[in-house]
Structure 1
Amino acid sequence: MRIAIFYILFVSCTAYALWRGGAPERAVAGSYFSIWLLDQALHFVYASDFTELDPGHLVIDLLIWVAFFTVAMRAKRFWPLWLASLQTIAVVAHSAKFLDVTIAPRAYLTMQIASSFPVLILLAFGTYNHQKRLKENGFDPSWRSKSLK
């Protein structure tokens, strides 16, 4: 049931962001969708039991962390900082497993997937607020300027 709820949330939030979001929302949605495709391919060729470090998911989590961090540093929004912070939990999970292989497999799995639901909710929240600012102001700048004025 949890997986079905995740897929419904995943499809609805990413579609909403791609359809109604500004550039940062679309960048996050596109990145998250791309990483989901990569994750599906990984599961097709490699099944992890989470008893040891999972190098495939480590790479995936690092890639999406870099994408979220990049958007957070460039976007004229606050919510992408939360995404990067949440994704840091998954990256730390791999570090913890690398340093202490006795961590329970369920704890390692939970740390990897714990941020999945909040990330999607934040994406929908960011998209909603983008639409709200467009309605109120008629514009909503997406990116910070390159200068530090």
Structure 2
Amino acid sequence: MILLAFLLATLLTCGFALIRGGAPERLIAVTFLVGAVASVLVSIHAKPMPGGFQLGIFCVDVVMLFAIGGVMLKADRYWPIAVAALQFLSVLGHLIKLLDPNVVTVLYWIANAFWAVPQIVILAIATVRHSHRARRPGGDPAWANPSRSTKR
């Protein structure tokens, strides 16, 4: 039931970001959607390694970290930094299980899945804020503009 609620929240938030968000919000939404589908497919087709480590989901999370990190580096927004940090914590949860297979499986699941909830909340808030800023004169630039930086 919790998984179903999370998937519904993810679909609604990502759909909202795809419709009303700027380029960074849309890219992160696509990353979340592709990551969710890939995680479900991997968990259906791949068995956990001895000790419970899930290599396939770890790989999905690492690819998502790089995608979110790329948006973070180019976007003219602060919120992708928080989303990337939360994704990094999820990847660290996998590494903890890999280094210590005795970590309780429930704690491993919580260490990975927990961070997705605040990521979805941040995306929803970022999309609302973008839609408000986009109505102002001058709009809401999506990407950092290197020509605006101060030259010394």
Residue type of the alignment partner of 2:82: W
- 2:18 maps to 1:18: yes
Give the conservation status (yes or no) of the 8 Å contact 1:17–1:127: yes
Shift of 1:47: 4.0
Give the match for residue 124 of structure 1: 124
Give the percent of matched residue pairs that are identical in Structure 1 and Structure 2.
27
Give the match for residue 134 of structure 1: 134
Give the conservation status (yes or no) of the 8 Å contact 1:49–1:105: no
Number of positions where the alignment pairs a residue of Structure 1 with one of Structure 2: 149
Give the match for residue 94 of structure 1: 94
> Aligned equivalents of 1:28 and 1:134: distance in 2?
18
Q: Kindly report structure 1 stretches of 4+ aligned residues shifted beyond 4 Å.
A: none
Residue type of the alignment partner of 1:7: L
Which runs of structure 2 are paired with 1:1-149 in the superposition (5 Å)?
A: 1-48=1-48, 51-146=51-146, 148-149=149-150
> Aligned equivalents of 2:92 and 2:70: distance in 1?
18
Give the conservation status (yes or no) of the 8 Å contact 1:18–1:26: yes
- Relative to the length of structure 2, the TM-score reads 0.90
Consecutive unaligned residues of structure 1, counting only runs of 5 or more, are none
RMSD of aligned alpha carbons: 1.7
> Aligned equivalents of 2:60 and 2:69: distance in 1?
14
Shift of 1:138: 4.4
